[in-house]
Amino acid sequence: MLPIILAMEAEDQRSRMVEIYDHYGSFVYRCIGDYFQDFQRKEDLFQEVFKRLIERAEVVEILPHRQLRSYIWYTVRSVCCNLLQKEKGHRTESLETLWEEEGFEVAGDAPAVYETIEKEELSDRVSAAMGKLTARERDVLSYKYFMEMSDQEIAAAMGIAQSSVRVYLMRARNHLVKIWQREEHE
C-alpha cells in the first residue's frame, strides 16, 4: 500500500483510495509501463499519479466506473507528458511528438489503453492543437468532452467555482479555434 494513501486523514476518502489502488493499481502501472521502461521512473510516476488522484479525492469519489477509468488514464497521460516536457525543457505540440523524439513508434507501439481511448478522442489534428493549449485549458476540455463530467465534477477536479466552469470552457474553446485557424493558414 502507498504511504501517501495511508497518511490521508479522512477515513472515507482513505477507504475509497484504497479501493481505487486495489482495483486500478495494475491498470495505472501497466499504462505507465507502456510509456516508460525504467523501474525507478515507473515507481516514481506511479506515486505521482496517486498523489494527483488524492489531491482530487472529492472528484474520484463521485465518478462512475467508466468515467473514473478515463479520468485515471488521463491523469497517467498528463503525468507522463509533464515529465517528458520537463526533461526536454520545452513544450511540444503533443504527447505523440514527445514519443517520436524519444524513438517511440506511436503506430506500432502505442499502449493498448491509448488505442482504446483514442477512438473516443478527437482526430490527431485536434489532439495536436490541444497540445498547444495550456494544461488548464486541456484539462477543462478533456473533462467536459472526453470524460463527460458535469460542471460540478469539473469544478471539483480543477479546484474552481462551479460558476467559473463555463467561462473556462468558453476561453479554452476560443483558444482552440484560434490555434486551429492559424494552422489552417500555415
CA 173 to chain centre: 18
Reference 179, options 124, 140, 131, 141; nearest CA is 131
Share of the chain above pLDDT 90, in %: 8
161: confidence class by pLDDT, cuts 50, 70, 90? very high
What is the rounded average pLDDT of the residues 66-90?
79
| Model confidence pLDDT, tens digit, residues 48-68 | 998 888 888 877 887 777 788
Most confident of 33-37, 97-101, 125-129: 33-37
90: confidence class by pLDDT, cuts 50, 70, 90? low
Reference 175, options 143, 146, 144, 140; nearest CA is 140
- Say how far apart CA 93 and CA 174 lie, in whole Å: 18
Alpha helices, DSSP H, located in the chain: 3-6, 11-35, 39-55, 57-62, 65-88, 95-101, 106-109, 112-118, 124-130, 135-141, 151-158, 165-184
| Model confidence pLDDT, tens digit, residues 127-150 | 677 778 888 898 898 888 778 888
User: What is the per-residue pLDDT for 165?
Assistant: 92
User: What is the per-residue pLDDT for 13?
Assistant: 75
User: What is the per-residue pLDDT for 104?
Assistant: 45
| Model confidence pLDDT, tens digit, residues 174-183 | 898 888 778 7
User: What is the per-residue pLDDT for 20?
Assistant: 86
32: confidence class by pLDDT, cuts 50, 70, 90? confident
User: What is the per-residue pLDDT for 91?
Assistant: 54
Residue indicated by cell numbers 516514481: 44
